[in-house]
Chain A
């Protein structure tokens, strides 16, 4: 039965001001029950204040075979990291 249901990716916002983060996936027959399943599976220990569910089939993923051309060129561009600035202590979650 579960295998007949589409898969949904679950994103949880752990508290106000933070971005939703991917936490896992659930099976559910439709969007409303996907939210219920996500709530029951991923927020039962006060992990979140907001939930998103997205049909897994709607996720467009990069091709692992292209990882070389997509990601490796960034490895040698250390100057793109904002590590040459002093970040004030008050700034969190940057």
Chain B
């Protein structure tokens, strides 16, 4: 007599409920939290870059910054929709519920400060995404494979501009140095591993950022060297974004971003 075919139990399935259904991300707190962290980073940074639209230093740079913002809003849409109802998560959460890192919510400042923020974030994000293509989660693998190409360009463009500004005029070098100085204290948060992230790492979902901290520091140092800039002195790290403890800037950003859907909940395109 032929034996029954083996039952293929999906990875991550729980014993509860329908036994062969993969556990939904929102049923695993660490998985849900990880999607929010990545999704909120992309969402908040895209909103910041979008603030440049119509205000870029020159037309070509205006378009460049808007393109970066569009890449990121696309990533945020994928990630937040995977976590739940993307629109509700983006527009109906309050500031304490956002899990983005503090770096991405920092104000644009001048063009140099925006470039400093983007260099520091996209270099980190690129190294993360390269490793996220090996995630145990199929969605995250596919997401990372698509996003890593977009972010490779972000990293290149931010590096190019850092070098142009740092190795440019006296004024551009001063502004670039000040921009880096503003953003520098938010680097340690990118490599912080708390209990939630540790659970995601243990589950094979997320790469451990500490594994590429040295590589990150070297990569940033190489760009600063090309830009003839000194790395800012390490400052007291500021942490807490991943737990919802944000700088005062995020509330103002959300007020602008969320105003319309909250005022007109039935608004449609």
Q: Which residues of A contact B (CB under 8 A)?
A: 1-2, 5, 26-30, 32-33, 36-37, 39-41, 44
How far does the Cβ of B164 sit from chain A's closest Cβ, in whole Å?
A: 6
In the bound assembly, the distance between CA atoms of A40 and B67 in angstroms comes to 7
List B39-63 residues whose CB lies under 8 Å from chain A: 57-61, 63
Across the interface, do A1 and B57 meet the contact criterion of CB distance under 8 Å? yes
| B160, CB-defined interface residue at 8 Å | yes
Across the interface, do A44 and B67 meet the contact criterion of CB distance under 8 Å? yes
> For the complex, would chain B's binding face be called helix, strand, loop or mixed by DSSP majority?
helix
For B149-179 the 0/1 string (1 means CB < 8 A from A) is 0000100110011001000000000000000
Q: Given contact pairs A2-B57, A37-B61, A40-B63, enumerate 15 new A-B contacts (beta carbons under 8 Å).
A: A1-B57, A1-B58, A2-B58, A2-B59, A26-B60, A27-B58, A27-B60, A29-B164, A36-B157, A37-B60, A37-B63, A40-B60, A40-B64, A41-B60, A44-B63
Across the interface, do A36 and B57 meet the contact criterion of CB distance under 8 Å? no
Across the interface, do A36 and B58 meet the contact criterion of CB distance under 8 Å? no
Q: Which residues of A contact B61 (CB under 8 A)?
A: 37
In the bound assembly, the distance between CA atoms of A29 and B161 in angstroms comes to 11
Q: Which residues of B contact A29 (CB under 8 A)?
A: 164
Across the interface, do A36 and B160 meet the contact criterion of CB distance under 8 Å? yes
Q: Which residues of A contact B67 (CB under 8 A)?
A: 40, 44
Q: Which residues of B contact A30 (CB under 8 A)?
A: 164
Q: Which residues of A contact B156 (CB under 8 A)?
A: 36
CB<8 Å pairs between A and B, sample of 28: A1-B57, A2-B57, A2-B58, A2-B59, A2-B60, A26-B60, A27-B58, A27-B59, A27-B60, A28-B60, A29-B164, A30-B164, A33-B160, A36-B156, A36-B157, A36-B160, A37-B61, A37-B63, A37-B64, A39-B153, A40-B60, A40-B63, A40-B64, A40-B67, A41-B60, A41-B63, A44-B63, A44-B67
